[in-house]
A = this chain, B = another copy of it.
Amino acid sequence: MNIYDVSHKAGVSIATVSRVLNGNPNVSPKTRQKVLDVMQELGYTPNVFARGLGLNTMKTIGILCLDSSDPFLANAVYYLEQNLRKYGYDIILCCTGYDLKNKQKYLDLLLSKRVDAVILVGSSFLEPQRKDNTYLFQAAASVPVIIINGYINHPNIYCALCDDAQAVFDATTKLIENGRTNILYLYHSKSYSGQQKLSGYKEAILSAGLKLDENLMLLCKNDMHQTKEAITEAAANGVKFDAVIAAEDLLAVGAIKYAKQAGLKIPKDLAVIGYNNSLLSSCCEPELTTIDNHIETISITAVNTLMRVFSGNDVPNRTTISNDLVERGTTDFAKNEI
């Protein structure tokens, strides 16, 4: 028995059921009565949305994170905690790792603690096969589910993300417009976000009238030294490239290490662009040009979305945040544009 059953049987939206539960005046008396009748008929206890009113609530949000020691995910957890705290919510943090069974187990565990909502940090919570996401749909039947950096269309699941495809498309296009013709793409994850980034790269290559070359799309380990080795091997096998776009700053640092070893000048012989604008991007030499996907803004958006859901508002299923290219020493766009 859940809010879907009420919504379905009463023939109204979930938002309308939520509005009734929250005493929101924007519901006609007739609709309100119908919803209340169905709830009584089905014996529905409105525990979930009553929480938004401060009734029957622990004021606790469960955060599932793949790995909170990852600098990017750690930032997301930090900003979520800070912003949820402003609304008086505690967070229970649970690091799942990447295994589907563990994700399911810990999601069940959080729900058993009667959290008011669940936030998933990291797009790898979305499995490639829709049927494997049943565990998320089941959770969404009892509490709102928020996904950071991933998107799936399902009732009571809300997604806050950067337009990763557009970000990589724009950066790749900028390299091409600056005369780079063989752009090596480095990635380590086939998550939702990883697929979006790769599709942005492919789209940019094709839009510029260039040919897609499988050899220029290099799947790496999430380690800068192993990435350096992978690039070295590709180069030894005759793969030619004059620019690198990486799906993570860490991989881009591997490309900088490769260039140094190979005696290539950056950015003259090899331009490099990373992703995330993490601390790493300022440590390397030259400092890294990188895509900033504004994880703080994504996190704040996620919290605001959740608060609107708790208040019974109609909330869009997806909110997309724009990104910036932060230009540092591994590209020479400004110079070429003069």
User: Contact residues of A with B, CB < 8 Å?
Assistant: 60, 63, 67-69, 71, 74-75, 77-79, 81-82, 85, 90-95, 109, 113, 224-225, 250, 253, 256-257, 260, 279-280, 282-285
**Which residue on chain B has the smallest CB distance to residue A71?**
B71
Evaluate contact between B77 and A282: CB separation under 8 angstroms.
Answer: no
Contact of A224 among B77, B256, B283 (CB under 8 A): B283
Closest 10 CB pairs between A and B? A74-B74, A69-B78, A283-B283, A285-B285, A93-B93, A68-B78, A69-B75, A283-B284, A280-B283, A253-B283
Q: How far is the CB of A289 from chain B (nearest CB, A)?
A: 15
29 sampled A-B residue pairs with Cβ under 8 A: A60-B92, A67-B78, A68-B68, A68-B78, A68-B81, A69-B74, A69-B75, A69-B77, A71-B71, A71-B74, A74-B74, A74-B77, A78-B95, A81-B94, A81-B95, A85-B95, A90-B109, A90-B113, A93-B93, A224-B282, A224-B283, A253-B283, A256-B285, A257-B285, A260-B285, A279-B280, A280-B280, A280-B283, A285-B285
Complex Cα distance A90/B62, Å?
Answer: 10
Report chain B residues within 8 Å CB of A93.
63, 77, 81, 91-93
Complex Cα distance A313/B189, Å?
Answer: 45
Known contacts A60-B92, A68-B74, A69-B75; 19 further A-B pairs (Cβ under 8 A)? A67-B78, A68-B68, A68-B77, A68-B78, A68-B81, A69-B77, A69-B78, A71-B74, A71-B279, A78-B95, A90-B109, A90-B113, A224-B283, A253-B282, A253-B283, A256-B285, A284-B284, A284-B285, A285-B285
- State the number of copies, please: 2
Q: How far is the CB of A258 from chain B (nearest CB, A)?
A: 12
Complex Cα distance A281/B98, Å?
Answer: 26
**Which residue on chain B has the smallest CB distance to residue A281?**
B283
Complex Cα distance A280/B92, Å?
Answer: 28
Complex Cα distance A295/B69, Å?
Answer: 12
Complex Cα distance A309/B81, Å?
Answer: 29
Q: How far is the CB of A223 from chain B (nearest CB, A)?
A: 9
Report chain B residues within 8 Å CB of A284.
283-285
Complex Cα distance A75/B94, Å?
Answer: 14
Question: Known contacts A279-B250, A285-B285: does B94 contact A92 (CB below 8 Å)?
Answer: no
Complex Cα distance A260/B284, Å?
Answer: 12
Report chain B residues within 8 Å CB of A250.
279
Q: How far is the CB of A255 from chain B (nearest CB, A)?
A: 12
Report chain B residues within 8 Å CB of A71.
71, 74, 279
Q: How far is the CB of A270 from chain B (nearest CB, A)?
A: 15
**Which residue on chain B has the smallest CB distance to residue A93?**
B93
